[in-house]
Amino acid sequence: MPDSRLPVAPVDLPTGATARYARHLSLPGVGLVGQQRLAGARVLCIGAGGLGSPVLQYLAAAGVGTLGIVDDDAVDLSNLQRQIIHPVTAVGERKVASATAFIANLNPLVTVRTWDTRLDRGTVGEILDALDPHIVVDGSDNFATRYLVADTCADRGIPVVWGSISRFSGQVSVFGDGYTLRDVYPEPPEPGTVPTCAEGGVFGVLPGVIGTIMATEVIKLVTGTGTPLIGRLALWDGADATMRTVRFDRQPGSVALRHTTPPETGGNRAPGATVTPDGIREIPVSHWPELVGNGVRLLDVREPHEWAGGVLGDPLRLPLGTLKTGVLGPLDDLPRDTPLAVYCAAGVRSRAAALLLDDAGFTDVVSLSGGINGWWLRH
């Protein structure tokens, strides 16, 4: 476990809780002790928006004893497409008030504490001191807050359940036991280089998928059941309905995604690539600029409507669906030893494309793990 306070010490259940939590009480791995641990847990949720909505709903339903909520925003009509904790009648109200009302109606056995304030260096310590949470859930929507939360909690030894969304894709991890956000993304991207939800859009159900996974990780940590996502990053591609996980090491100051297979050696132009169990050479998307500098051609295998949202560099464009039919399009006249770096949204379609290109005779193909969404989330 990432912290000596986990799993949480059990406490007596409130009166009337047995019937409410009956399905947990009969569940191996949770049971009475697990439910008592949930009742004794204090969880701080940063943000009551897209990710915070499902996190707060499911943690309240599960019986987390004390939920803290930090948010300095008011409910806007455009929020309702995805921030399902807020009803239309709450438009104009403070989000912490709206979320509190929802939780009270869902499960009055849960204590809610709120901070209607922006989290900054002056407030983060005060809030953590006041609540003394067992776990912090980071559902914030800006990089400054994410890194502030990650760094502060790392200093204090508080586990962080972290999630991030962009358009159709999302990521989830658990930072604790010496792992931090900076092991995956050492530094925040430059301001204005990553589109916000307002600028780039967001698939309405995506926060529900990622937020529910985040809530799952919290419950696992509190009860001590299952294997948490510590040292692993889960990547969900909603467009393709695929999820994969990659491991990362404790390497402060550098991107440390790694795979279990050893690096491939040889004369290719993608040094440091690793080989997946299905034989695909793979390298993190963060390396694409240096690959291009070494003469590697980029290939975007997303669909045409996705290209309109932006591409990496000046890629060749060939949708995976077209490639599956045997049509090579812009690749037809290329020498088969042309080095290619294939990418998609999150790195799943690019691996399928790499296999097809190998079958077509191309001898120097690498898939960019994380995809263009991984690049946007870092830059």
Map out the domains of the chain with their CATH numbers. 17-248 (3.40.50.720), 259-378 (3.40.250.10)
CB-based contacts of 108, cutoff 8 Å, min separation 6? none
Token couple for 373: 């969404």
Question: Rounded to the nearest 10 degrees, how much is the dihedral formed by the CA atoms of 140, 141, 144, 146?
Answer: 40
Q: So what's the pLDDT on residue 261?
A: 31
CA dist., res. 370 & res. 202, Å (int): 18
Q: How does strand 274-275 pair with strand 242-248?
A: unpaired
- Taking only the tens place, the pLDDT of each residue in 4-19 is 578 999 999 988 899 9
Q: So what's the pLDDT on residue 266?
A: 37
pLDDT classification of 270: cutoffs 50, 70, 90: low
CB-based contacts of 233, cutoff 8 Å, min separation 6? 171, 172, 173, 184, 245, 246, 247, 248, 257
Catalytic positions, please? Answer: 197, 344
Are 202 and 82 spatial neighbours (Cβ–Cβ below 8 Å)?
A: yes
pTM: 0.67
Q: How many CA atoms lie within 13 A of 365 on its CB side?
A: 26
Residue type, 269: R
* Residue 243, beta-bridge partner list: 236
- Taking only the tens place, the pLDDT of each residue in 93-133 is 999 999 999 999 999 999 999 999 999 998 999 999 999 99
Least Cα distance to 235 among 283, 183, 164 occurs for 164
Percent of the chain with pLDDT over 90: 68
Q: So what's the pLDDT on residue 253?
A: 40
